[in-house]
Amino acid sequence: MDDTDIDLRRVFALLQRQSRLIITTVIAVVTLAGIVAFALPPSFSSTALVLVDPSRKNLLDPDQHASASSSDSARIDSEVEILRSNTVLLKVIEAVGLTGEGGPAAAPSLRQQVAAFFGLANTSAPDTDPDAALNQTLESLRSAISIKRRGLTYVISIQARSSDPVQSAGLANALAQAYIDDQIAAKITRTLASRDILQARVAQARQAVVSAEGALAAFVRANAATGTADAAQANFTLNTPLAQQQLQQTFTSNLPADILTQTYGLQQSAEVARQQYETLLSRVHDLETQADLQVADSRLVSAALTPQSPSFPNRLLIVGMAALLGLGLGVVLAVLYENYIGGFTSKAQMASVLRARVATAIPRQREQSDKQSLANLMIAEPLSVFAESVRRLRATLEQSLRRQADTGTGGKVVMISSAAPDEGKSTLALALARSYALSGRRVLLIDCDLRKPSLHRHLHIEPSHGLMDYLDGDSNDLASIISRDSLTSATIIIGAHVSDLPTDQLLTSAAFSRLMEAVRDTFEVVVIDTPPVGPVVDSLYVAPFVDAIVFVTKWASTSQIEARQALTSLLDVKLPHAEVVAVINQQDQPRSVYRRKYKGYYAEEAT
């Protein structure tokens, strides 16, 4: 399988191993979300719908129609901004009475509710300045409403939030009504402003009519025809039948052409002035009528109703989303823990992180009694998965040691170490020594964990002297610290008791160097059980004497960072030819794997 392929069995196995972390994360996130959801005060939302008609409306000319244009979209967006303007909001505040003493307050926003829940809201005394209080109320109302256009339609939705369901509907309807009233008021104001401008022109037009008619009358009196002296002497005005008759007689008389032309010009000027005056006067009357007949371009198509249930918080949705979030977060934490923070779970992962050869993965075995060591399985169950894994480790070490045949004479020394305590290195050291002994090798096992010797407990012996006594000079008799394994031919140098002195001084002494030279000449293989590298430095003084290092890590337990640091320390002090071999200990193996690979194989009958 390619490295980039996803192994579903490994994924499910990871989820199963880290199920406790995932479940804990989900419970923690859901609990926190539940506390917040049930602690937040409820908020009610109500929505009103307003339809904007961009066509022009003139009740005095009902047949007038305005076709839709590309500017309609901009018109609707402009109306949305008008709804959000301070002018409309201030009218809502005045209509609803938000500034009145004891009046209802606008609903707090989600940000304000969350801030209040965590104690981050502003608890200072309210400002007594009227302008500041009004601005605060305006901002509170602005945060309590939401105005937006419904897609590309001409419909605008007005949503109001409040802790009081009745108030939420009232705010939405009040805002819609204030907007419509403001729209009508704006049209009336615009019409009356146009009327006022025309009224100023009407006075000028009236004066122009008076001046034009006066000039015509004066000219006619001055140039009246013979035989009309009575008319010329009369108080001549154009609005009388006598004046009209006089004008007619003037045009039919034998007056000079220039006088007739001037008379006709003055008559036309007076007529034009009169028509302009009448037109302006008629337009003024039309505008006054239109001001009383204005209708809004928008109408309320759906009034906001009192909500029956709060819109926030949706506790079921919050808890459900928190469960999904907690599950995702738990899986992420599980992956991070297993692949970067936690222990190793596969040989490929261990080889990739430590950049070392991984010999085998020793499966987890059933707990043995205090009187039985797991290393006894090498003799009691030689065909078990445990025994086979130890033999695989021995085969890997033999390949490595065989390549070092020209590095010197004498036996080969193998060191067993780990990054942290309780990783099973002492059990593995004893099992490996027994495996070499069963193969016919002269093998020596040394309990070099002077801080906490444990091999004597596996062998059920209580010696009076140990390796520490020999290195300290209390006992010069090497035979007194040597024991024989009761189950195999392996020789063992044990540790008797815990040292109360710095043990690194003993490992750097000449006595330890002489001991290592002596055991190399006597035995073919020497296995040394050393303390963990993390808490104790003793292994770093033993490493320069060995030909191979077995680095043991407990499956899914030892921190990858800690393992890398410990291995780096060993690599810095080991001999150039010494090879490091890694082992995963106590690995969980499905029963199907054991049955398929081992039990089924050994159960086959010979054919």
Mean pLDDT of 165-178: 92
pLDDT digits (tens, 9 = 90+) for 29-67: 999 999 988 888 888 999 999 999 887 666 555 555 554
Identify which has the larger pLDDT, 173 or 402: 173
Q: How confident is the model at residue 9 (pLDDT cuts 50, 70, 90)?
A: confident
Q: How confident is the model at residue 461 (pLDDT cuts 50, 70, 90)?
A: confident
Instruction: Give the per-residue pLDDT at 329.
Output: 95
**Whether residue 191 has pLDDT greater than 90:** no
pLDDT digits (tens, 9 = 90+) for 108-128: 555 655 566 555 555 454 555
Note the helical H segments in 240-384.
Answer: 241-252, 257-292, 315-336, 347-354, 377-380
Q: How confident is the model at residue 273 (pLDDT cuts 50, 70, 90)?
A: confident
Mean pLDDT of 357-379: 84
**Whether residue 231 has pLDDT greater than 90:** no
Instruction: Give the per-residue pLDDT at 234.
Output: 41
**Whether residue 97 has pLDDT greater than 70:** yes
Mean pLDDT of 402-412: 72
Instruction: Give the per-residue pLDDT at 125.
Output: 47
344 half-sphere exposure, CB direction, 13 A CA radius: 30
Are 424 and 586 in contact, with CB atoms under 8 Å apart?
Answer: yes
**Whether residue 354 has pLDDT greater than 80:** yes
Using CA atoms, how far residue 346 sits from 364, 432, 515, 553, 556, in Å, is 14, 21, 38, 11, 9
Instruction: Give the per-residue pLDDT at 592.
Output: 44
First to last CA, the chain: 33
Q: What is the CATH number of domain 363-603?
A: 3.40.50.300
Identify which has the larger pLDDT, 237 or 447: 447
Angle at 122 between CA 118 and CA 123, to 5 degrees: 95
pLDDT digits (tens, 9 = 90+) for 414-426: 999 999 999 999 9
Q: What are 510's two structure tokens? A: 């000449």
Q: Is this structure's pTM higher than 0.85?
A: no
- Residue-by-residue DSSP string for 393-430: HHHHHHHHHHTTGGG-SS-EEEEEEESSSSSSHHHHHH
Pairing status of strand 357-363 against strand 579-587: parallel
Are 487 and 382 in contact, with CB atoms under 8 Å apart?
Answer: no
Mean pLDDT of 547-558: 92
Give the residue from 81, 210, 215, 98 showing the smallest Cα distance to 148. 81
Instruction: Give the per-residue pLDDT at 600.
Output: 58
Instruction: Give the per-residue pLDDT at 115.
Output: 62
Measure the CA–CA gap between 351 and 225, rounded to whole angstroms: 133
Instruction: Give the per-residue pLDDT at 106.
Output: 46
Instruction: Give the per-residue pLDDT at 580.
Output: 96
Q: What are 430's two structure tokens? A: 């004893």
Instruction: Give the per-residue pLDDT at 388.
Output: 94
Measure the CA–CA gap between 22 and 25, rounded to whole angstroms: 5
Mean pLDDT of 199-205: 83
**Whether residue 266 has pLDDT greater than 60:** yes
> Which letter, b or e, does each residue of 28-43 get, where b requires 16 or more Cβ atoms within 10 Å of its Cβ?
ebbeebeebbeebeeb
Identify which has the larger pLDDT, 500 or 446: 446
Mean pLDDT of 83-110: 71
Kindly report which listed range (219-233, 325-339, 394-408) carries the lowest average pLDDT score.
219-233
Would you put residue 373 in left (φ > 0), alpha (ψ -120 to 50) or beta?
beta
Mean pLDDT of 198-210: 83
**Residue ranges per domain, the chain?**
192-298, 363-603
Instruction: Give the per-residue pLDDT at 442.
Output: 95
Per the prediction, the chain carries an average pLDDT of 82
Instruction: Give the per-residue pLDDT at 264.
Output: 75
Mean pLDDT of 355-370: 82
Instruction: Give the per-residue pLDDT at 132.
Output: 85
Q: What are 529's two structure tokens? A: 């059980």
pLDDT digits (tens, 9 = 90+) for 125-162: 455 578 888 888 888 889 889 999 998 899 999 999 98
Would you put residue 460 in left (φ > 0), alpha (ψ -120 to 50) or beta?
left
Measure the CA–CA gap between 238 and 216, rounded to whole angstroms: 8
Q: Which residues contact 52 (CB under 8 A, 6 or more apart)?
A: 75, 76, 79, 154, 155, 156, 297, 298
Q: How confident is the model at residue 596 (pLDDT cuts 50, 70, 90)?
A: low
Are 360 and 393 in contact, with CB atoms under 8 Å apart?
Answer: yes
Give the residue from 531, 451, 485, 519 showing the smallest Cα distance to 375. 485
Q: Which residues contact 261 (CB under 8 A, 6 or more apart)?
A: none
pLDDT digits (tens, 9 = 90+) for 553-581: 998 888 888 999 999 999 999 999 999 99
**Whether residue 101 has pLDDT greater than 50:** no
